[in-house]
Amino acid sequence: MMTGQEYIESLRKRKIKVYLKGKQIPAQELVDHPFIRGHVASAALTYDLAHDPVYENLMTTTSHLTGKKINRFTHIHQNVDDLLKKVKMLRMISQKTGTCYQRCVGFDAMNATYATTYEIDQKHGTQYHDRFKKFLEYIQKTDFMVSGAMTDPKGDRSLRPSQQADPDLFVHVVKKTDEGIVIRGAKAHATGMVNSHEMLIMPTISMKPEDAEYAVCCALPTDAPGVLHIFGRQTNDDRKMEGEIDQGNAKYGIVGGECLTVLNDVFVPWERVFMCGETEFAGMLVNRFASYHRQNYGGCKSGVSDIVIGATAAIADMGGYSKASHVKSKLNEMIHLTETLYACSIACSAEGYQLPCGSCFVNPLLANVGKHNVTRYIYEIDRIAQDLAGGFIATLPSESDLRDPEIGQYVTKYFQGVKGVATEDRLRVARLIENMTGGTALVESMHGAGSPQAQEVMYSKLANLENKKKMALRIAGVKVD
């Protein structure tokens, strides 16, 4: 297992092609770039914690393939205990970073692909599952970070992939040879992609037979020939070029450093191809990945909310109003909402079950309920945080003003709180709240792992409404066939 520093040094060896604000960033400088280094640091912590005896039980496990000790982020869930430890691990890491640490997407993609390739092979006699197991052994041995790449740009949402005016708006196979396939297209919103070693590409929606060239799942290095990445903007990201305080969370950043990954006729050898044209399994892969990923959100978002709650309580202390009854009541409401999110992730894990391949899967209905709650409760948690923190979190002078020899004295004087609390400390907490409850973080809570409508679609499929009607009719005394 790599350490955090070994992970960082391994990233420097890549020949990755990344563009940021219209300029290509030299590969050797990428991990140190102010826009990216926080995301690298948060991912690096997932490596360091695996070497900490305090967290060993959560962060590490034994590979079912090799019998060797591995980082849990490279594991295939074998039982309910694995699912539960995953959620507890995510909350714990979020409590230490206050942000996204990016490895979850690849973790979930590997688990979904492992299970789905087994069932493709059972029907078609293909060799996808064995290929994927070899890839997984490679990931476990190297401890590489994998970015899950599912979301396509999609173009005209009313049209299927094969109906698009531009065929590249969904990733598709443009050529097959004896050695492998060539793919073209793009993946959007790719969390942690620029600081990952590998990407695992999956279809983004269910497919019909006419979409066969789009039903593709494969793995390739993030610096493979023909791949380029365009790094996304985040709220207040230019502050990363300035001082520390205004960033809010200077060490680890905000959210996960998403990007647009462009695939310009990229060659993938057959040993790294895990689906190629089996359209009837595209939906299975999508739904399994989505359920695993939605399981996460009550874990990571409850951990992040723990930080928001703590910061809100601290800013109230610093302002001298923490003993007011309405403040206590609102903090309790934040705690209630946070623990509700966590409970859903624990519940969907506790009700996990074995898939035909032998790995363990979450209860998909409860996983979707948990993620849907995130799209609502995080907004309410953050609303209360902004309510209790006060409007000054959005109107504060800059750190440069605080440090200025002439006007800094006024910032210090007029933004002081209770006696004995340094103004700078109060401003640090205020900026943390501003950044954690601002635009980018909220949008990610809404759309990460699928927007609310995606969860509602799953409800309609999984809730068995007809059976609920029959139960009600029986109790009402109405004859039911």
Known binding site: residues?
Answer: 191
Q: Which of 39, 104, 218, 252 is catalytic?
A: 104
Closest CA to 169 of 183, 151, 153: 153
466 is catalytic: no
Task: Show the tokens assigned to 248.
Answer: 């809010």
Q: Which of 119, 293, 342, 440 is catalytic?
A: 293
Task: Show the tokens assigned to 411.
Answer: 């910032």
293 is catalytic: yes
Phi/psi region, residue 350 (left: phi>0; alpha: psi -120 to 50; beta: rest), is alpha
CA torsion sign, 179 to 180 to 182 to 187? negative
In sequence order, the β-bridge partners of residue 186 are 262
- Are 266 and 220 in contact by the 8 Å Cβ rule? The answer is yes
What gap in Å lies between CA 89 and CA 57, rounded to an integer?
9
What gap in Å lies between CA 288 and CA 113, rounded to an integer?
8
- Are 285 and 119 in contact by the 8 Å Cβ rule? The answer is no
Q: Which of 198, 213, 278, 444 is catalytic?
A: 444
Fill in the amino acid letter for 426: R
What gap in Å lies between CA 474 and CA 471, rounded to an integer?
5
Task: Show the tokens assigned to 357.
Answer: 């391949």
Give the other-Cβ count within 10 Å of 198's Cβ. 22
Task: Show the tokens assigned to 178.
Answer: 């004896």
In three-state secondary structure terms, 397 is: coil
300 is catalytic: yes
What gap in Å lies between CA 74 and CA 138, rounded to an integer?
10
What gap in Å lies between CA 109 and CA 217, rounded to an integer?
10
Q: Which of 217, 276, 300, 348 is catalytic?
A: 300
191 is catalytic: yes
Q: Which of 7, 61, 100, 129 is catalytic?
A: 100
What gap in Å lies between CA 240 and CA 245, rounded to an integer?
10
Q: Which of 297, 338, 342, 372 is catalytic?
A: 297
Extended strands (E) in 207-251: 216-221, 227-231
Q: Which of 46, 191, 204, 440 is catalytic?
A: 191
In three-state secondary structure terms, 107 is: helix
Q: Which of 198, 213, 258, 278 is catalytic?
A: 258
Give the CA angle between residues 300, 222, 248 to the nearest 5°. 40
- Are 236 and 81 in contact by the 8 Å Cβ rule? The answer is no
Instruction: State the greatest distance between any 2 C-alpha atoms of the chain, in Å, as a whole number.
Output: 84
Q: How far is CA 196 from the centre of its chain?
A: 13
H runs (alpha helix) in 190-324: 282-319
Q: Which residues are annotated as a binding site for FAD?
A: 191
Closest CA to 348 of 399, 294, 392: 294
- Active-site residues, by number, are 100, 104, 191, 258, 293, 297, 300, 444
